[in-house]
């Protein structure tokens, strides 16, 4: 009886038999929190420092509360400032924007004059109040940019006129706030206001000059008299005395502009035009001989 030969499969020593491959696992999709963190415009190092700040701040708040309860608030504040500063969250850079005329060093001095440079303990509100006390500062915004930058944006006042009072020249803004002294040699091309309280009348002067725009380039100075009315001094040396009240003053100025256009009143050696009395204009002329009484010219009103 013949035997059927047994077929054997030769395998290499150490080889493992074939197994069915396991299906590849799909990569785990990041959660919403991970996606939000990845979208932040901050480096991993910065995020770690922010997290450190949060931990330190929480611990510091507890320490401050315990110390205050024990009657040692000042020592607790210093301790918290030291801990936070050592964590690397301190003011190392100051970014200032918006300054055109104000001295930049003045702003730096206010920032550096803090009890601490630890970023969380810089009093932003107090710093803003300090800056608002300077004449040039109309508004100020102060914020932190972690981990080490303090950002300050200054809104400056705009000089609108020069105020001459008691022999001193001062730049003022539209609301009359004095900004800084100015010398006669360095006077900018701005309207000149003269007299007590004239600095607060710049808006009223602008409204008045709108009644006669053609005369505005010819006006050298506007004098606020007795806190009630205007005298205008022209480049040719004459003075125009206007009545009280905004409407009456504007009406008189319009009439003077019409007469000057018809008769060329300016530049003829006159000294003064008095239009304080409604309906009349008194002209004082410059004479070489004996002075004569001022002549009255009907305004035609």
Instruction: Give the Cα-Cα-Cα angle 175, 180, 182 (nearest 5 degrees).
Output: 115
User: Model confidence over 207-230: pLDDT tens digits?
Assistant: 999 999 999 999 999 999 999 999
Task: Look up residue 238 and give its two tokens.
Answer: 């004459």
H-type alpha helices, the chain: 32-39, 44-69, 73-86, 104-112, 124-132, 202-209, 246-263
Q: What is the pTM of this model?
A: 0.66
Q: What is the pLDDT of residues 248-292, one digit of tens each?
A: 999 999 999 999 999 999 998 899 999 999 889 999 988 764 544
Helix/strand/coil percentages in the chain, nearest 5 = 35, 25, 40
pLDDT given at position 79: 55
**According to the model, what pLDDT value does residue 68 have?**
47
Task: Look at residue 85 in the predicted model and tell me its pLDDT.
Answer: 54
- Please, what is the angle between helix 44-69 and helix 73-86, to 10°? 170
Residue 296 has what pLDDT?
Answer: 43
Res 288: pLDDT: 60
Cα 100 to chain center, whole Å?
10
Q: How many CB atoms lie within 10 A of CB 294?
A: 13
pLDDT at 59: 46
For the chain (length 301 residues), average pLDDT per consecutive 10?
A: 51 52 59 52 54 50 48 52 60 90 90 78 90 95 89 95 95 95 92 96 96 96 96 96 96 96 91 92 78 45 40
Please, which residues have CB within 8 angstroms of residue 218's CB and are 6 or more apart in sequence? 234, 235, 236, 266
User: Among all chains, which residue has been given the structure tokens 């611990």?
Assistant: 59
pLDDT value of residue 66? 46
Per-residue pLDDT at 116: 74
Task: Give CB contacts under 8 A, 24+ apart, made by 221-224.
Answer: 221/164, 221/191, 221/192, 221/193, 221/194, 222/191, 222/192, 222/193, 222/194, 222/198, 223/193, 223/194, 223/195, 223/198, 224/193, 224/194, 224/195, 224/196, 224/197, 224/198
Numbers of helices and strands, H then E, in the chain: 7, 13
């Amino acid at each position: 009886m013949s035997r059927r030969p047994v077929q054997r499969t030769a395998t290499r020593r150490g080889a493992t038999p074939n197994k069915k491959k396991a299906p590849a696992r799909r990569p785990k999709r990041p959660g919403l929190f991970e996606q939000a963190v990845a979208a932040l415009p901050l480096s991993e190092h910065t995020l770690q420092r922010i997290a450190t700040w949060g931990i330190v701040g929480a611990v510091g708040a507890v320490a401050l509360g315990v110390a205050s309860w024990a009657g040692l608030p000042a020592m607790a504040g210093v301790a918290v400032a030291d801990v936070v500063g050592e964590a690397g969250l301190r003011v190392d850079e100051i970014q200032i924007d918006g300054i055109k005329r104000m001295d930049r060093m003045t702003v730096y001095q206010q920032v550096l004059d803090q009890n601490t440079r630890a970023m969380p303990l810089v009093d932003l509100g107090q710093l803003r109040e300090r800056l608002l006390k300077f004449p040039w500062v109309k508004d100020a915004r102060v914020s932190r940019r972690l981990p080490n930058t303090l950002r300050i944006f200054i809104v400056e006042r705009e000089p609108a006129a020069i105020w001459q009072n008691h022999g001193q020249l001062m730049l003022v803004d539209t609301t009359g706030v004095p900004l800084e002294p100015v010398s006669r040699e360095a006077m900018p091309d701005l309207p000149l206001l003269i007299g007590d309280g004239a600095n607060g009348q710049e808006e009223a002067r602008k409204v008045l000059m709108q009644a006669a725009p053609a005369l505005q380039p010819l006006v050298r100075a506007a004098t606020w008299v007795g806190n009630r009315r205007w005298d205008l001094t022209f480049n040719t040396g004459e003075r125009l005395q206007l009545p009280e009240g905004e409407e009456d003053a504007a009406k008189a100025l319009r009439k003077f502009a019409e007469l000057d256009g018809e008769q060329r009143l300016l530049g003829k050696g006159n000294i003064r035009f008095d239009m304080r009395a409604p309906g009349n204009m008194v002209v004082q002329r410059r004479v070489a001989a004996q002075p004569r009484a001022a002549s009255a010219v009907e305004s035609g009103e």
